Amino acid sequence: MNDTVTFNDQGLESRSLSSYTEQAYLDYSMYVILDRALPHIGDGLKPVQRRIVYAMSELGLKATAKYKKSARTVGDVIGKFHPHGDSAAYEAMVLMAQPFSYRYPLVDGQGNWGSQDDPKSFAAMRYTESKLSKYAELLLAELGQGTSNWRPNFDASLEEPEILPARVPSILLNGTTGIAVGMATDIPPHNLNEVVSAALHLLDNPKADIPELMNFIRAPDFPTDAEIITPKADIQAAYETGRGSVKMRAVWSKEDGDIIVTALPFQSSGSKVLEQIAAQMRNKKLPMVADLRDESDHENPTRLVITPKSNRVDIDILMDHLFATTDLERSYRINLNIIGVDGKPAVMNLKRILKEWLSFRIDVTRRRLDYRLQKVEKRLHLLDGLLIAFLNIDEVIHIIRSEDQPKPSLMQKYGLSDLQADYILDTKLRQLARLEEVKIRAEQEELAKEKSELELLLSSDARLKTLVKKELKASAEEYGDERRSALKERTEAQAFSEKDLVTAEPVTVVLSDKGWLRAAKGHDIDPTSLNYKAGDKFLSSALGRSNQNLFLQDTTGRFYALSAHTLPSARGQGEPATGRLNPPSGSLFTHVVMGDDSQKILLGTDAGYGFVAKIGDLFTKNKAGKAVVSIPKGGKILSPKLVSDENLLIAAVSNEGRLLAFPLSDLPELSRGKGNKIINIPSSRLQAREEFVVDFAVIPEGGSLVVHSGKRYLVMKSKDLEHYRGERGRRGHKLPRGFQKVDRLEAE
């Protein structure tokens, strides 16, 4: 940064606007990161939360105290510690009081503190009352014992603690979210017993890896009974990198044919879920649901009832759809971004968090013991002075009463220190006269014993670790509980496709010569007898179901897909396919095909080439279609043929009356292309349009072939076809005279 600061004649500082702006932004960014948005690893709190908890403890609002108006507490926080507005402080306080937001609430509230349906519907702070919860003692119990560094508050009028001396890894227990500048944090809540067990294991085994720690901390534990469905491997990856996500799914059961939802994911609203389902019902996207209602009450905080239309509805598939499309399933981001012991933000993995917190906890414990040792040593020193005064009580009283400056005399005569002399002089004479040697010596013995214990603890790291372990176990026994969020790996939920919602009714799709489409209900429709526009006529039809796609073939060998249920009724004259599709200019639609995706179909050209494809391979979302059949120069596309049975024969006939039959199995199965040669048509003759294939037919084993020639037709049974059977790609044999000018082939 080019930071050039100059001073003018009056001694005033002058600097460039760019350097000033840059510095101001950096200062602001660092303030947001370090003093607003991110929690500290020590106590797991953001500064505003820490200030609220500390202010409440200073006001005497412990778990055993009476409730006090929240406005007075917030006022105290604002006035003394927090440089922001009262609404921000109150909102932070509300969050710490909501049992559905915090796994272990720090504030115990009376009045309206919001509900799971609407967490922000809490009453104004002048109406609510609050005090600290019992759990908050884990953050405050050791505060006055030399365990915390103190710093001036925002206006330097008094001191506030930098970090509260937490007795448990609070950073993992309640979790937190925060948005800073250029970074954010998302720490999910965890179970106290699990976290303490992992911390104890890490104390005994410093080299333990994350899979080992996950034997204790299996996953986050949210303040809800909903299931965590994320696979263990994904959770492990999140714990190893500090980044990832976790999914939760609602818990439901069947009751008298109804679906009863009894637990929602973390921060999901029951009313919002019902709203989402109702919106789908209104938009006809959920025809299998008949009714919705909310039966939640004080006994059942969550009870959503979904009534299916009939007992034939597959409830598992329905719930799968609802999980995919509503807040019955939610994903939560994990980003373990924390201010570490060194005072710098970092994305940490699970092991590092526990390791750093344990180092913080051992340091806090050492400071607490050290502080107590100093107090004990000071008291022992004073007791030594008191004992000397007691043993020489008359002389001491005489010196105090008679001397103008008794302090130097006492120090000289009895070898007292400055501290001891001050203590004796500060004690009232009446109290000095009442001293008892037995009591002094008993106190000395007691303190000497404590002193040796403290020195022993402070001299040994192993003993210090043992003490930390003992205190962690005690905290877990007192405040620990069972896991709430069950762990159940489940497959990913799938929403219904539009096709799934459509009833499977039989339909006949009709294509006119001018490319108009319509769909008639049923398969007993005569498409040629329908009304057509002037100059238009019937071209092609296909039988299928309303939940299937129809495929249009054009003269370029492209196929186009449309949903059958979206077509206009056959009562009218339909609508042009070009209104929905975008075929190349000059191309014409030639045929329409329908069937299951696995249905096989014969595709080919009059150049004598073809192949077998599956109808599913024709599908495309592209309005411009999909190039499926490659047409040789001079060739034209032929109408597709459905392939129904095994052991089929394919028959091909040319305009010169040459017929060739061979097993269909000789043709390859392709998804697109030119295909293989079916019957030999010389390319020069094809280009001159002298010789080409008139039609193909697919004949079942033992079936007959009908050759249509003008008004005459020839029925050829399987024994008649033997003469025309040959290898694929041959020229074939000529049909009898009178049937050599073939119009079409038909299989029976």
Is there a contact between 553 and 638 (Cβ–Cβ < 8 Å)? no
Q: What is the dihedral of CA 618, 619, 623, 629, to 10 degrees?
A: -10
Half-sphere exposure of 243 (CA within 13 A, CB side): 4
Cα separation, 443 vs 386, whole angstroms: 12
Which amino acid is residue 417, in one-letter code? S
> Of 503, 507, 506, 537, which Cα lies nearest the Cα of 519?
507
Is there a contact between 510 and 517 (Cβ–Cβ < 8 Å)? yes
- Write down the residue that tokens 């960014």 correspond to: 29
**Known catalytic residue: 239?**
no
Is there a contact between 530 and 568 (Cβ–Cβ < 8 Å)? no
Read off the tokens for 60.
């005497």
> Of 420, 428, 436, which Cα lies nearest the Cα of 397?
428
Long-range contacts of 398-401 (CB under 8 A, 24+ apart): 400/425, 400/429
Annotated catalytic residue, options 127, 371, 560, 609 = 127
Cα separation, 510 vs 527, whole angstroms: 6
Beta bridge partners of 663: 649
> Of 239, 176, 189, which Cα lies nearest the Cα of 50?
176
Is there a contact between 349 and 239 (Cβ–Cβ < 8 Å)? yes
Half-sphere exposure of 336 (CA within 13 A, CB side): 26
| 88: CB partners within 8 A, 6+ apart | 48
- Give the 3-state secondary structure of residue 167: coil
| 592: CB partners within 8 A, 6+ apart | 509, 510, 511, 517, 540, 541, 542, 550, 551, 552, 553
Read off the tokens for 591.
């045929």
Q: 433 exposed, middle or buried (CB, 10 Å; 0-12, 13-18, 19+)?
A: exposed
Beta bridge partners of 333: 245
**How would you classify residue 741: left for phi > 0, otherwise alpha for psi between -120 and 50, otherwise beta?**
beta
> Of 689, 613, 607, which Cα lies nearest the Cα of 652?
607
| 172: CB partners within 8 A, 6+ apart | 44, 187, 189, 190, 195, 217, 353, 354
Which amino acid is residue 419, in one-letter code? L
Is there a contact between 303 and 262 (Cβ–Cβ < 8 Å)? yes
Is there a contact between 125 and 70 (Cβ–Cβ < 8 Å)? yes
First to last CA, the chain: 88
Pairing state between β 558-563 and 626-627: antiparallel
Cα separation, 297 vs 279, whole angstroms: 24
Cα separation, 391 vs 441, whole angstroms: 12
Cα separation, 576 vs 568, whole angstroms: 10
Cα separation, 587 vs 623, whole angstroms: 14
Q: How many H-runs (helices) and E-runs (strands) does the chain carry?
A: 21, 37
What's the farthest any 2 CA atoms get from each other in the chain? Answer: 157
DSSP conformation letters of 291-330: EEEE---SS-S--EEEEESSTTS-HHHHHHHHHHHSTTEE
User: What amino acid positions are annotated as catalytic residues?
Assistant: 127
